[in-house]
Structure formats: C-alpha cells, structure tokens
Chain A
Amino acid sequence: MKTNANRLIWRRYRSLLLALLGLALLFAWMNTGLLNTNARLDRRYNPTAEEIRTDKDQADLRGHLAQTHESPETFVANRDSVFEPGAQGKFEVAIGQQGRSLGQDIGLVIVVSLMSGLALVVFGKYTHFLEWLRGSGLSNRKTAWTSLTLWLCTFNVAVLVNQVIMYFVLNQAIKPDLIHLSWQNVLAFGLLNQVFESVWFVLGMLLGTWLSRPIWALFYGFVFVLELNQFRLDGGPDFPGGLSVQTFYSPGQSTGLVILGGVIVLILSMWLYVFLSGRVAYAESPLTVFPQTDYLFIILLGGIATSSLMRNLSFYSWVGVGLVIVIWGLMLYQAYGSRIQRRLARQ
C-alpha cells in the first residue's frame, strides 16, 4: 500500500507553484517591455582609476572627466551598472535607465528566492498539510525529498524562464560588436544564477522548517533578508551593499569554482532540509522546532537587531531606530509573550 507522494504534494501546492511560474513570466515580460521602450544602451570604458590616469588610449574619457569635473576615483566608485558577460576588454556595457540596471538585482533575487522557499514550507505548516502527510503512509524522508524536488524544480523552471527571456531580449537589444553572448558565457551565466538562486531558495525552506510558528517564520524571514541586504530600515534600501553584483553576475575565471561551491552548498542544504524535516514534530513551541536551538536563534536575531540598531544610530536615522525597537518588541512578545501572560494570570 503506497501513497503517491508526488500526486499529493503537487495537488496541494499546484496553485502556488503555478503562481510562481506565472510571476516569473510576468516579471520577464515586464523587463522585456522596459528594455524595448526605455532602455538606454551605454558603452563605456571600464578602467580602474589608475588606468584612467595613465592610459594614453583613453584620452577621450579623460576629456569627458575634465568636462564633467569628475575625478577618476568618483567615476570608478559611481559605477553601479550590471556587467554583462562577454564585455570586451575595458568596456562596460550597461542597459538601464539613469545608470540603474534593468537586469536582476542581486538583493531582490535573494529576497524572492529565500521568501519563496520559506513561504512554501510555511504554507504546508500553516495549513497542517505537512503534519497530515506524516500520518498518511509517507515516511518523513519521502515527504521531505518529494516536496524539495517538486518545489526546487518548479523554482528552477521559473528562474530559467526568466533568464531565457532576458537572454533573447538582451541578444536583440545589444549590438553584437559590443557584447558577445557566446554559449559558454550564457551557460556560465545561467548556471551561476540557477545555483545561486536555488541555494537561497533551499535556505528559505530550511528557515521555514527550523522556525516553529508559521506566520512568525515569515516575519523573521523578511527581517533576515532585509538585514542581509543591509536595508537600513530607514526607507533607504541598499540592496547590493553587502554582496557585489559583479561577483555573482559576471562570469570570470573563477566562475566554475563558484558554481562548484554553490552546488556543494546546495546539496548540503538539501540534505540538511531532509534531515531536519525527519525530526520535526509539528508541535508548536515558542521559537524553533528544536528547543535546544532556541538560544542559537536568539543569538542570531539579537545580532541582526543590534547591528541594525548600531547602523541606524550611526546614520542618525531615528525612523530606523524606531523600527528596530518595534521589531525587538515583536520578537520578545513572540518568544515570551505567552509566558508573561501566564505569569500575570497566576498573580
């Protein structure tokens, strides 16, 4: 007597997974529209400040800098466009409006990937579906592997759809003499994105499994990704601040190594998800599903909140300070609220 895990999980999650695919198509279509109507193609030199000073071939750029009263250092520091693969030599090709890239923002990619994985696990917990599956003849490992495979595959298809559409649009929009989207580059670029986004997706699943209360897990996930992206909670997002866009979006000599590392992290995360899922009891506890890791969670969140508070203080951002205090208050309420209420009721 075998229960069909794929069928059960697909039936329960299909609306969410189809919505994910639909959103991927929608975003790709939106990007296409933006590129077709508003994109500005920039071809410019991409030298270091030192090269600008010394390279005789770049007299025109130095002339431009003199005209705009911009120093080589400022010019280099202000570059925030996404480097497209295949850019030749010291050229940087950017597509965007007012210097902002229309390509995928690394910070946004992290938010979407992590929150997608987290949301799928939270949905299963909140609707008690995962709990019910436990008693339906599926082993814990089977449930975990099946959901992981199904969700990760759908997520990768969504990412792939987005990338393929972007690739064709870029191919149309960029003159071939400016950029070479060779198959090797496209493959490296694509693989890098797939692996990178998959890692964040599975980390989201892990976070959702580890945190005990579903709705609070979403809250904490959001705090986590915002902090990871160095969102200062003062109304000023600073997504690429912590992680270099180029590191992940411009394949170079170390791309293969980065992909390999990413795959190893992905496999380890997947294994950890299955391992943890097999030990989750689905009994609601205040913080994490394993009480012995509660302190780890408190340390993690305490660190995040403290670092955010210090940063806001250093920027004199009182709105940010207020927000951090509110988040601290909510955390304390979630962790100790019921305990305090019980104590008050006893008095």
Chain B
Amino acid sequence: MSLVVKSLATSIGKQQILTDISLTLAPGEIVGLIGRNGVGKTTLFKSILHQYLPSKGEISIDEVEVATDPSKYPEVFYLDDQNLYFAHESIRFAAQFASMVYPHFDVAGFWQLMAANHLVAGQQYRMLSRGLKAYVRVSLAVASGSPYVLLDEPFEGLDVIVREQILQLIVNEVAEHQRSFLLASHDLAELDGLSDRVYMLKAGRIVGTYDLESLRQHAQKLQLVFSNNQLPAIVAQGQVISHRGRVYEILFSDYNDAIDAALRAEQPILMEPMSLTLTDLFKMNLEDAQ
C-alpha cells in the first residue's frame, strides 16, 4: 500500500525536465520535497498524475500501475495552484467538481472547514486572500479522502494563523487516517519539524533522500575556528556549509570518534556542536552545485 514512482523521466518540448526519479510515499508519512526554483518539483507532481506525460518510468498506486488503470488516480490528490480548474469560479463549484471525482469526498466536512474561516459557498475563489486560497486548497485535499496528497508550496506567503490551521489539518489527517502527504516546499524550517523524510531534487534528479532523525544520529554539525587560516586535512571528511572569516560551519555526515579525535588534535580555538537542520542539507547540496 503505497505510491511508488520508479525511474520516471519527463520532457517538456525538447527540454528534459526530470531524469530517473524514484520515490515512495507510504501510508501515514509526511515526506518533503525540496529543491531550488525550477528544478522540477511541480513537473514531478504533474507527471505523477499524467498531466504531463512521462517519457519513461512507472507510477503505481497500491501496486496497480496507473498507466494501465487510470481509475486509481483519485487515490492521489493534487492541485496546481497556478492552473486551477476553479480559479475563476466559486468555492461551491470547486467542491462540486471535487465531489464528482473523489469518491470519498466529505462534503459536510469540507463545509465545516470553510465555516471555520467564515468562507461561504458563493464566494469567488479569485477574490480570496492568498492565505485563504491556500486554506481552500488544503481543505479540498483533506475533504477528498484521497490516501495520497501532493501539496506544492502549501505554506508560501501564509500568515501564522492560517499556517497553523493548515499544519493542524495535515497532522490530524496523518495521525487519524493514516493519509500520506508529499510536500514540496521552500519553507525548510516548516518541513524540518513536520516531515519524516526529505527528497532533495536538483536539476531534475533526486540527489539525496534524508531521513532527518537517522541522519541526526550519525551526522554532526560543528562550528569550528582554527588558529591559522588554513583548514586542517581532517575537515575534508566533512562539508563546509558556511564560513564567516575564520568561523566555519562544517557538517560531518558520518561523525565518529576518529574524526572527533583528529579535530581535537588540531587544537581548534572553537569547536561547538550545532543542531542539524534541513536548511543545512539544502545549503550543502547548493554548495555542491556551485
């Protein structure tokens, strides 16, 4: 029981956007998808739903390949906020059409969520604020009852109240109904506390999968200052995330006693452990690219 993408490749026009993408979304998981603008996050979501036709690869939902049985698609919920089918329509319209597509759509539940923010059926979606638009989209996702939900930048530009409401909705759905969320986001701090795993997308490829908890068990981020300007050789075992003057922040993905001893042997002026965040992983991969 999972959403599985295997060796997916997608081209738009003559341009190859995605190459050899493989990922899994299991029930009850919140998985992050991070990457810089234009790396193909939205294309990946659209390819999973065959809105963009993949040139290669397999997508299966609960072990059924969707290319042969597209009726499995309502098991996955995705709305492209730039290209919404109800962008110029009312909230009622959005709900009516969603209820025709998603067999487990909870109409009453959806209107309860709308009422919580004083939204009414006749309101035009385009007239809503950015935050309320995001709230309507996430509410549709929640009401859809689809086991797998793909959300593209769900927290972008939201105020604290709406952000909190959306977070609560997501967490509740995962906890109570074992639903899975794949969240593409730039808000790394938000994903950090929320996601079980994170896929890093770079230039159309998945360059890393990070299980933050297990990573934190093995990895160590250190703030280091050495007396001379030259970094000792042992630092090459880690990766420089940032440096200001002689102050370096270095991430050792497999930190062990030998590395610790070697660093101490260099007698650093400052050697301070720091908490590892998703932002560090993001920056680390960014540095790679540069």
Chain A residues in contact with chain B, CB under 8 A?
1-4, 7-8, 11-12, 127-129, 131-132, 134-140, 279, 281-283, 285, 291
- Residue from A127, A131, A135 in contact with B73 in the complex, judged by beta carbons closer than 8 Å: A135
Among all A-B residue pairs, the 5 with the closest Cβ atoms: A135-B49, A132-B85, A136-B101, A128-B83, A137-B73
CA distance in complex: A131, B101 (Å): 14
Knowing A136-B73, A138-B70, say if A4 contacts B13 (CB, 8 Å): no
CA distance in complex: A128, B82 (Å): 10
Other A-B pairs, 19, CB within 8 Å; known A132-B85, A134-B50: A3-B74, A4-B100, A8-B97, A8-B100, A11-B96, A127-B85, A127-B88, A128-B84, A134-B51, A135-B49, A135-B73, A135-B78, A136-B73, A136-B101, A138-B70, A281-B53, A283-B13, A285-B12, A291-B13
Cβ of B154 to closest chain A Cβ, rounded Å? 17
CA distance in complex: A2, B166 (Å): 30
Whether B52 pairs with A1 at a CB distance below 8 angstroms is no
- Residue from B14, B49, B80, B97 in contact with A12 in the complex, judged by beta carbons closer than 8 Å: B97
CB of B6 closer than 8 Å to a CB of A: no
Nearest residue in B to A135 (C-beta to C-beta)? Answer: B49
CA distance in complex: A7, B97 (Å): 10
Q: With a CB–CB cut-off of 8 A, which chain B residues contact A291?
A: 13-14
Whether B100 pairs with A3 at a CB distance below 8 angstroms is yes
Q: Can you show 8 pairs from A to B with CB atoms below 8 A apart?
A: A4-B100, A7-B100, A131-B85, A135-B51, A135-B76, A137-B73, A283-B52, A291-B14
Q: With a CB–CB cut-off of 8 A, which chain A residues contact B103?
A: 1
Whether B101 pairs with A3 at a CB distance below 8 angstroms is yes
Cβ of A230 to closest chain B Cβ, rounded Å? 35
Q: With a CB–CB cut-off of 8 A, which chain B residues contact A131?
A: 51, 80, 83, 85
Most chain B Cβ neighbours within 10 Å, of A1, A138, A139, A281: A281
Q: With a CB–CB cut-off of 8 A, which chain A residues contact B96?
A: 11
Chain B residues in contact with chain A, CB under 8 A?
12-14, 49-53, 70-76, 78, 80, 83-85, 87-88, 96-97, 100-101, 103
CA distance in complex: A127, B76 (Å): 21
- Residue from A7, A138, A279, A285 in contact with B13 in the complex, judged by beta carbons closer than 8 Å: A285
Whether B71 pairs with A2 at a CB distance below 8 angstroms is yes
CA distance in complex: A283, B101 (Å): 22
Q: With a CB–CB cut-off of 8 A, which chain A residues contact B13?
A: 283, 285, 291
Cβ of B62 to closest chain A Cβ, rounded Å? 11
- Residue from B71, B80, B84 in contact with A3 in the complex, judged by beta carbons closer than 8 Å: B71
Cβ of B246 to closest chain A Cβ, rounded Å? 38
Whether A139 pairs with B85 at a CB distance below 8 angstroms is no
Cβ of A269 to closest chain B Cβ, rounded Å? 22
Whether A282 pairs with B52 at a CB distance below 8 angstroms is yes
Most chain B Cβ neighbours within 10 Å, of A7, A8, A129, A136: A136
Whether B51 pairs with A282 at a CB distance below 8 angstroms is yes
CA distance in complex: A1, B83 (Å): 25
Most chain A Cβ neighbours within 10 Å, of B49, B101, B103: B101
Q: With a CB–CB cut-off of 8 A, which chain A residues contact B84?
A: 128, 132
Nearest residue in A to B54 (C-beta to C-beta)? Answer: A281
Cβ of A291 to closest chain B Cβ, rounded Å? 4
CA distance in complex: A135, B80 (Å): 11
Knowing A7-B100, A8-B101, say if A1 contacts B74 (CB, 8 Å): yes
Q: With a CB–CB cut-off of 8 A, which chain A residues contact B87?
A: 127-128
Knowing A7-B100, A279-B53, A291-B14, say if A136 contacts B74 (CB, 8 Å): yes
Q: With a CB–CB cut-off of 8 A, which chain A residues contact B100?
A: 3-4, 7-8, 11
Q: With a CB–CB cut-off of 8 A, which chain A residues contact B49?
A: 134-135
Whether A281 pairs with B85 at a CB distance below 8 angstroms is no
Nearest residue in A to B85 (C-beta to C-beta)? Answer: A132
Cβ of B64 to closest chain A Cβ, rounded Å? 11
Whether A129 pairs with B85 at a CB distance below 8 angstroms is yes
Cβ of B73 to closest chain A Cβ, rounded Å? 4
Cβ of A294 to closest chain B Cβ, rounded Å? 9
Nearest residue in B to A136 (C-beta to C-beta)? Answer: B101
Cβ of A152 to closest chain B Cβ, rounded Å? 22
Cβ of A337 to closest chain B Cβ, rounded Å? 16
Cβ of A36 to closest chain B Cβ, rounded Å? 42
Nearest residue in A to B12 (C-beta to C-beta)? Answer: A283
- Residue from B14, B52, B74, B88 in contact with A137 in the complex, judged by beta carbons closer than 8 Å: B74
Q: With a CB–CB cut-off of 8 A, which chain B residues contact A138?
A: 70
Whether B70 pairs with A137 at a CB distance below 8 angstroms is yes
